[in-house]
Amino acid sequence: MRLYRLRSFILGAATAALTTAATGASAVEIEYWQYFFEARVDAMDKLIENFEAANPDITVKMTHFPYDSYRTKVAAAIPAGQGPDVVQLFYGWLNDYVEAELIQPLPNDTFPPEKIEEEFFPMVQAMRMGDSYWALPTAVRSLALFYNERMFDEAGIENPPANLDELVETAKKLTKKDGAGNLTAVGLTTGMTAQDHHWIREVLIRQFGGEPYLDDYKTVNYNNEAGLKAFGFYNDLQAKHGVTKAAFMDEPQAAFKAGRAGMHIDGSFRIGALENVRGLKWSVAELPAGPDGTKSNYSSYWVNAITSKAEGEKFDAAVKFMEYLTSDEAMQIWLETVGELPAKPSAAMTDENVSHPVYGPFIKGLEYAKTTVFANESAQRQAMVDMMQRIELQGQPLEESVSQAAEEEQKILDEYYQK
Amino acid sequence: MRFYNTLSITQKQIVWAWAFLALPVLFYVVIRFYPTANAFVLSFQEWNLLGDRKFVGLENYAKLFGDPVFWKVFKNTFMYLILGTPVSLVLSFIIAYHLDKVRFMHGTIRALYFLPFMTSAVAMAWVWRWFYQPVPIGVFNNFLASFGIGQIEFLSSTTNALPSVLACAVWAGLGFQVIIFMAGLRAIPQSYYEAARIDGVSTWTVLTEITIPLLKPTIVFLVVFSSIGFLRIFDQVFNMTTNNPGGPLNSTKPLVLLIYDTAFNGFNMGYAAAQTVVLFTILLVVSLIQLRLLKDS
């Protein structure tokens, strides 16, 4: 028995020595986890390849899961001392991950907060908690106005609307109805269930002089004059101007794709789905400015963070990998492979990117984009969906509906932050 | 081994019976009973899937019973049951009763009725969802519009949405119920019908005095089975209202969808477990009541 143990020890030691010799002085393997989305996995494969070429002593192993089970898997693996060293998460989950001690802060010497604030677009500041940053994005997403060029030509419109008044006027010219007055094409798509709740929160409310939330997004602040004006403007699109119908053709993006919507507000992630649609000629413009010229936009993003599991040399390797993931080079690769926008002006605002006919308007939007800190995005969205439906289906007055929605959303926020 | 040899034959049989039962018992304990028990415990805790579980006593239940959305959802769930079960049973009985008499292309027609049951609920729900859209894409509304009749709001109305979703669910389950009813009809001995014919009894009397009473076991099975199905309705509702799950204004939201939303959008596992316990209780009570009512006295 003892002889056997000794022999296996020698054998093991020899193998270990051999592998070390073969792969360099001290080979470290770190694990990277993300959810499965083909383009994202492809992009990450490229990034890992480049990173390993530059750091021959580090190997990165990527594992991906279907989106549905991603969060559960991460939560189960890390406390058990398994799973990723570097993990991808949605910006809105940061709070939960920090509280559950699944991730650790990025070291201040490599990622000094002042430098990050100088280099990244301002909305990334949501990733700072206390004196350090906990996670950083490679890419971000923003909103822009997609428009159907054929419908614009038919209606004799030359330029996309620059402000909200022009938006209404343009939409009126693009709307088509049949003999019975049924809409057959809308001027502008609307649907609170798509991106419109972001458009209202971070764009319209600000453009009408308000601020959607106070105290770091812990207090709802749209049950006031600015909020009522913003929701009123949105509601009038359908109720007064008749240029749209909520959920026309089931989903706004479907209506736009089918060529039955003149304009459509959506995120940069929609680009891929609209490319190569036969018979559809479309273009992108910046979101229309507000009555006083205020521009705003909403940005969301996925971030990478180092988990609490990474220690010692794995931690050092993870830091190096994070450095590469937040480099200009990585951001450009991500833009070209996934179509998501670079998170730093230095990578995003290159002449080529800004003048790009499709990416350009999205990238310009990043300069003034805001990021909503959600406690529970789907529940908070639901409050807004219900608000508009109470007005449309039950005839509730706007003021009452807005104040009810504000109360509902405040309750969601209070419940989340009290724990 | 020596101990085994001392056992009597009956005892040996028992040992073997348990040996063979061990696998299913183990399976049920690990796959069914353990998670169920865990869910009961979880319903008294607070957990967001990431951190530690914290005991909060009855807080989840108190919150649940004080939540107007829960009561709305509770009502919806029973609407699905109260409308769905009788409608689907009557429809499938009528179809089965007549189909039983049809000789021409009997197999083909039966297969056609069974086809929806084999189709994926997701695909079916999406097709129905498009049927229900307003012009220019909805089949029903385009049909109405071509006759100059005003459009009907199906899924975007708080009153019509639930029956619209239910119609699809009833249609989907019809094939299965028809097949079961037909098997039940075939199992009734022909001699009863012959005796009735000799006595010159009307068709109606044959139906109410012979066919339906003798179908009782089939009806009991189908009532219980379809009630549980409607109380657990999810696929159709979720897929027909994905953009606004259970909407508009929660008018189609069933309990299972509420649980899903609480657990996997809100990550509020304890609260979701409390909702699950309530659903479990409802299913148990409804099934017990039905079995008692429909059992042969």
Domains of chain B, earliest start first: 66-294 (1.10.3720.10)
Render pLDDT for B5-38 as a digit per residue (tens, 0 to 9): 888 899 999 999 999 999 999 999 999 999 999 9
Q: Which residues pair with A133 in a beta bridge?
A: A128
pLDDT at A21: 42
Determine the average pLDDT of the residues in B60-85.
94
CA distance B67 to chain A (A): 12
pLDDT at B281: 94
d(CA B259, CA B270): 10
What is the mean pLDDT, run by run of 10 residues, along chain A of 419 residues? 48 47 65 90 94 94 87 82 90 86 92 93 89 93 95 94 95 89 90 91 95 93 95 94 89 92 91 85 95 93 93 93 94 89 91 91 92 88 93 94 96 86
Cβ separation B248–A178 shorter than 8 A? no
The DSSP 8-state label assigned to residue A107 in this structure reads P
Where is pLDDT greater, at B139 or A16?
B139
Partners of A193 on chain B (C-beta within 8 Å) are: 243-244
Q: Which residues of B touch A (CB under 8 A)?
A: 46, 48-51, 129-130, 133-137, 145, 148, 150-151, 156-158, 243-244, 247-250, 261, 264-267
pLDDT at B296: 61
pLDDT at B93 over 90: yes
d(CA A227, CA B102): 65
Cβ separation B151–A390 shorter than 8 A? no
Cβ separation A75–B49 shorter than 8 A? yes
pLDDT at A287: 96
Q: Which amino acid is at A94?
A: L
Question: Cα-Cα-Cα-Cα dihedral of A22, A28, A29, A33, to 10°?
Answer: -150
Q: Indicate the domain borders of chain A.
A: 27-141+300-370, 143-298+375-418
- ipTM for the whole complex: 0.80
A373-389: b (≥16 Cβ within 10 Å) or e: bbbbbebbbbbbbbbbb
pTM over 0.95: no
SS3 (DSSP) at A67: helix
Range A143-298+375-418 has CATH code 3.40.190.10: yes
pLDDT at A120: 93
Residue A341 contacts B, CB cutoff 8 Å: no
pLDDT at A20: 43
Determine the average pLDDT of the residues in B266-287.
92
Answer whether B221's CB lies under 8 Å from B243's CB. Answer: no
CA distance A167 to chain B (A): 24
Partners of A379 on chain B (C-beta within 8 Å) are: 265-266
Among the listed residues B159, B161, B172, the one whose alpha carbon sits nearest the alpha carbon of residue B132: B161
Answer whether A304's CB lies under 8 Å from A136's CB. Answer: yes
CA distance A74 to chain B (A): 8
Cβ separation B137–A249 shorter than 8 A? yes
pLDDT at A78: 84
Where is pLDDT greater, at A400 or B263?
A400
Residue A379 contacts B, CB cutoff 8 Å: yes
Omega of the bond leading into B189 within 30 degrees of 0 (cis): no
Cβ separation A184–B46 shorter than 8 A? no
Q: What is the mean pLDDT of chain B?
A: 90
For chains A and B, what is the number of CB pairs under 8 angstroms?
78
Answer whether A335's CB lies under 8 Å from A342's CB. Answer: yes
The CATH superfamily holding the domain A27-141+300-370 is: Periplasmic binding protein-like II (3.40.190.10)
Same fold, A27-141+300-370 and A143-298+375-418: yes
SS3 (DSSP) at A259: coil
